[in-house]
A and B are shown apart, each in its own frame.
Chain A
């Protein structure tokens, strides 16, 4: 489904991703862990099409297409969804309106009829129930005045509504209490199927108790330095990233000079 080869990404003249490789097949769940500032969000944003990040080298192939030249909206319509680490507040735009526009934009692209009002509401209500969202959510402005937990749940709710193929979760678990974590996990698990893949960015092994991951990758200094099964997460929780940070850091310095 997704293949990233030798990806280099720059922001404001600073190289953040330095030769990242990653392959994700349909039906798989991949987790990425790594220290602060290692480039996890950068990867997520680049996949979603954020223009402030400049791809200087490498390629991203999604379902046989080169993603790099696609606009964010095209990617969304092609089935890529990123749950933001910091969801944006949009005062004055009600969730219902926002969701209907988004869903119908995606449906239109897929050659489907736009939802009629009643169908739309029915669909949305069922997903709200799944994620335990309050009824007033639909009337409220997008993320405005939401608590941290509400924002994260709302991201997963949007994901459930849009039914993407590749779901990228950028630290959706950070700052969630255990109840919210269970709700979010339930939402994710209910969406797992053989056609859909997940890329889950997290700092904590905790989430992986609820979402069974197939692969864990360690991202340090803009590169994946180790990949393994879910047991790798436990190891990381135990030992941290220091061994890679030092050795890799030195290697990079050596390579640059």
Chain B
């Protein structure tokens, strides 16, 4: 059967009816009804427009107008050498790979997992860990008000399932690699990840989205993370997809008592990228650190949408986001902090700093504080600036070339984010990506 080209709401409905018959887990009635509810919700909501407050600065019309088809049957296989550049040096361990949204066993290494850790594809988990999945999947990322979440929920097919059992500590990062490669027509993939970290556990998850070529496609990603009490979880989002790809992703974190979550995002690729980070500090005394670096050139558009929800007393949150924008690119930082009525003694801080490298680059930065408790500390600050000419002259007057002075200042700007990364192989990898960006962006050619 020819795959349906999905463009307007009707064709998405049509695509859905074709998809749902053979979708993984279509035999599970709870999942069927969630998918059906989600597609209904999607058709009611439709794609958001700039009239929608949450999308004021990001026009996703190119996504809404484009026509996408679901990834076809017939697995594309890849060799280890083809993905070598996407495997950070020193991360030799646990890896699960998806190609065009589907699990690829040959490249995944899930054999000798330590005791207390499960990593599998969602499809496998629907079979082996039915109860856990039913208990958690879709329970946190609420699709009622978000069309992209609804779309993902309706069309979710595969993704990663990570389960860290009570008391298990895993130092080694778990690498989730999503590769998209040319199809005949632009495809949409809807990766859906579920990470469960039980009480007193510790884990590091690296979500990594890459392309093999410069093709047009749409990654619509949802990751739900549930962190038990007294647990430590680090999450990395590395987005380095094709400059013509669209990426909308949501990280939804549910935090238990005294848990500690760190989220790092590095956005480099994509034509339109929207990265939603939404932790809910549900357990008393929990903390989250949300760091991000986004670097755009050309006509890229990168939107960082934070929604930090303080739902319990004595929780701390820290956001530090930095943007480097070149060319005619646009960036958005929308930082919402919501402090619920009972969340007394909240301590929330938000910082967004941006560097514009060209006159035509633009950033919109918007803090949004919604505070319903009375005993809280919330601070926010944003800056937009250029490379400091005085600093450039100072460095040159000591013998450095203009190029190296600029590179040094840029690197210094980004290093504040990179320094927070405690996992060496990841920090080294991200540092090299950032340095490559400086070089490839030909920042050093148009000087003088």
Contacts and interface: CB of A to CB of B under 8 A. Distances in A.
Interface in B370-402: 388, 390-391, 393-402
A81 B396 CA distance: 11
Contacts of A38: none
Contacts of B396: 49, 71-73, 76
Contact of B399 (A77, A89, A92, A97): A77
A158 B412 contact: no
A50 B397 CA distance: 9
A87 B394 contact: yes
B95 to A, nearest CB: 33
Contact of A90 (B399, B401, B402, B409): B409
B398 A90 contact: no
Contacts of B402: 71, 73
Given A101-B400, A102-B399, A105-B400, A72 B393 contact: yes
B185 interface: no
Interface in B403-425: 404, 408-409, 411-413, 415-416
A51 B397 CA distance: 11
Interface residues of A, number: 32
Q: Which of B395, B397, B401, B408 has the most CB of A within 10 A?
A: B397
A98 B409 CA distance: 11
A88 B388 contact: yes
A48 interface: yes
Given A75-B397, A88-B394, A89-B391, 9 more contacts: A73-B400, A73-B402, A81-B397, A97-B408, A102-B400, A105-B399, A109-B399, A162-B398, A162-B399
B395 A90 contact: yes
Contacts of A81: 397-398
A56 B390 CA distance: 22
Contacts of A105: 398-401, 404
A131 interface: no
10 contacts: A51-B393, A73-B396, A77-B399, A88-B390, A88-B391, A90-B412, A92-B412, A102-B398, A102-B399, A105-B404
For the complex of A and B, the 10 pairs showing the least CB-CB separation, nearest first, are A92-B412, A105-B399, A72-B396, A76-B399, A102-B398, A88-B394, A93-B412, A106-B399, A73-B396, A102-B399
Interface in A158-202: 158, 162
A148 B399 CA distance: 24
Interface string A116-141: 00000000000000000000000001
B157 to A, nearest CB: 43
A62 interface: no
A101 B397 contact: no
Contacts of A37: none
A240 B375 CA distance: 60
Contact of B416 (A76, A87, A92, A158): A92
A73 B447 CA distance: 14
A158 B408 contact: no
Nearest to B416: A92
A121 to B, nearest CB: 18
A48 B395 CA distance: 11
Contacts of B412: 90-93, 141
A106 B404 CA distance: 14
Nearest to A105: B399
A90 B392 CA distance: 9
Contacts of B416: 91-92
A162 B398 CA distance: 8
A102 B132 CA distance: 58
Contacts of B409: 90, 93
Contacts of B411: 92
A82 interface: yes
Given A102-B398, A102-B399, A92 B413 contact: yes
A101 B408 contact: yes
Contact of B391 (A90, A109, A158): A90
Q: Which of B390, B398, B408 has the most CB of A within 10 A?
A: B398
Contact of A82 (B390, B391, B397): B397
A75 B415 CA distance: 30
A76 B388 contact: no
Contacts of A162: 398-399
Contact of B401 (A73, A84, A87, A92): A73
A97 B396 CA distance: 14
